[in-house]
A and B are shown apart, each in its own frame.
Chain A
Amino acid sequence: MRPFGYAAPATVDQAVGLLEAEGSEALAGGTDLLSLLKDDVERVDRLVALRGVPGLSGIELDGGMLRVGAMTTLQELRDDDGAIAALPALAVAIDGVASPQLRAMGTVGGDLLQRPRCWYYRRGFGLLALAADGRSMVADGDNRYHAIFPEGEARFVNPSSLAPLLVALGAEAVVHGPAGERRLPVEALYRAPQAAGERENTLAPGELLVGVEANVEGSRSAVYEVRQRRALDWPLMAAAVSLTGSGPRTERARIVLGHAAPVPHVATAAADVLSGQELTPETVAAAANAAVEGARPMSGNRYKVQLARTAVRRALGRAAGMEI
C-alpha cells in the first residue's frame, strides 16, 4: 500500500469535517478498501477511521421500525434476535456474506457502499472499463458476471448483499454531511456512472452514511440468492421481494434484483403483475418473466437472465411460504 495518514474522529461531525478534504476516505470494516489500496486501484491521502465513533453502531427496533447504524457489523446484526425475528430475510442476506471473518469485520454501511467486483475495475481500468478507442472492455471481453441490465457503459453489477432487501422494503438511508442530515431511499444511494471518474454512489464529498431505517411490519419479505459457491463468494444473482396485503391477494409488491445491474434493479413491471393478484404458480411465473423484460445480456452472461427468473420465483415462494 502507498503511505497515507490516519485520523480517528470522536464524533460524526468530526468525521464529516475530515471527509470533506480531498483525498480522504472513510474506513469502516476495511475488507474491501484495503484490497483496493493494496492493488493501487484506489489511492487515499488520509483514512478517516469510523470504528470508534459513537452513535454509528447499534440496532434499534422501535414499533415496526428497524434502525441499524452503519458501523454495526454484519455479525452483530445477524446475532440480534429481535431484528432477525422481525425480518427473517435479513438472515439470508447476511449469511450470503459467506465468511464468518467478513461478517465479523464487515459493516452494514460497508456492505451497502462496497465497490463493484468487476474484474476490469479491480485491475485498474475504471468502472466503465473503456479501452483507448472507446470500446467497452466488458462488452468485448469476459462478462460472465456482469450486468444483464447495463446502463450506458456501466456494465458492472451492484455487489451489496443487503441493498436488494432494503430497497424492496422501501428503507431509507440516513446521511450526515456538511449541511446536516438528509434521508433518502436506499436505492437513491446508487447511480450508474456515465463518465470516467464518476462514482457509483451519490454521496457528496464529506457525506457519511450513518445508518438505515426500514419499516419491517406489515409486509412479507424474502431473499433468494443463486450461487456458484456456498462460501467466500458473491452470488451470481439475487432477488428480494416484499409483499403487502391481507388475505390471499397481494396489494403491493416490490421486487428487486441484485447482481443484475449497476444499481439494485427495481423490477417494476414484475411488481405490477402481482398487484391485486393471488400468488399462484401462474402469476409468479408471469412476474418472473416480467422481471427480466428489457434485459440486455452480453456475450457471456445470457444464463443470468434465467437465474433472475428463478431467483424471483423462489423469493416469491419463500415470501408466500409456498413451494413454487
Chain B
Amino acid sequence: MTDDAKRSGLSRRSFLRGGAAGALSGGLAAGLLTGEAAGAAAATDAEAPDTVGPGPVEIELEVNGATRRLAVEPRVTLLDGLRDRLDVTGPKRVCDRGTCGACTVLEDGRPIYACSRLMIESAGRSITTVEGLGSPDAMHDVQQAFVENDAQQCGYCTPGFVVATAALLARHPAPSEQEIEAGLGGNLCRCGTYKGIRAVVEGAGGGGVSGG
C-alpha cells in the first residue's frame, strides 16, 4: 500500500467515526499474510467497530476541491450521491452496473466507476468529476480538445470519456496505440465517436493536451 493510501485510510476512518485509528500505526509490509500485523493491531484495538446504517450516516469527502459534508445511507452509490444530493450531474447514470464508463470520476486521482462505489466508501477521499477538470469558460485541455475534435455526439458518454482521457494522459502523456486502447477500454460510446476521441488522445502526443 502506498503512503497515500494509508493516509486516506486514516482520514477516511476518522471521517466516519471520529477516529479509532490507532491500530493503523502497525507495520504493513512486514506482516503481510503472516498474521503479525493483524495480531498486533488486534491487541491494541480489540473492540469491534460499530455498524452504521441502514439509516443516514454523516460523512465528509472532497468533491472538486470543496469539502462536502452530508448524511447518506450506506446503500447510496457515489454516483447517486453526487447527482442527487450534491447536484454534481456531470457523471452520468447510464448502465449503473460498471459496464459503460459514463459515470467515470477520479477518486484520489484514479479513474473509477462512481456507480460501483458506495459513497460511504469514498468518505475522506478526494473526488474529481468532469466539472472539477474545467468549466465552459476555462476548459481543461482535454475538454478543449474534445470540442476541437468534435469528439461527442449525443454527449451522454462524454463526461466519463473526458475524465478517463485525463486519467490516461496523466499516466501516459504520449500514449501508444496499445495504451490508448487499454486506457479508454472502460468507456463505451454508442454514437461511435471513437474516431474523434482517438484524435483527442493522439493530439496529446504533440504536447497540446495534458492530463494534469
Contact = CB atoms under 8 A, between A and B. Distances in A.
Interface stretch (A2-10, A158-166, A268-276, A288-296): A2-10
Nearest to B23: A10
Contacts of A267: none
Nearest to A60: B32
B38 A6 contact: no
A137 to B, nearest CB: 22
A8 B97 contact: no
B16 A8 contact: yes
Interface string B6-24: 1001001100110011011
A75 B4 CA distance: 15
A151 interface: no
In this complex, the member of A5, A7, A38 whose beta carbon has the largest number of chain B beta carbons within 10 angstroms is A5
A75 B16 contact: no
Nearest to B54: A3
Interface of A is mostly: mixed
Given A10-B23, A52-B12, A102-B186, A30 B121 contact: yes
Contacts of B53: 3-6
A100 B9 contact: no
Given A99-B186, A104-B110, A54 B99 contact: no
B41 A35 contact: no
Interface stretch (B60-68, B111-119, B134-142): B111-119
B97 A51 contact: no
Given A58-B28, A99-B101, A104-B110, A10 B33 contact: no
Contacts of B118: 6, 27, 30, 34, 47
A167 to B, nearest CB: 18
B104 A38 contact: no
Interface in B36-90: 37-39, 41-42, 45-46, 48-55, 57, 73-75, 77
A18 interface: yes
A57 B4 CA distance: 13
A232 B160 CA distance: 15
Interface of A: 1-14, 17-18, 27, 29-31, 34-35, 37-38, 46-47, 49, 51-52, 54-55, 57-58, 60, 67, 69, 75, 95, 98-102, 104-105, 174, 176, 180-181, 210-211, 213, 230-232
Interface of B: 1, 5-6, 9, 12-13, 16-17, 20-21, 23-24, 26, 28-29, 31-33, 35, 37-39, 41-42, 45-46, 48-55, 57, 73-75, 77, 96-99, 101, 104, 110-113, 115-118, 120-121, 164, 167-168, 181-186, 188
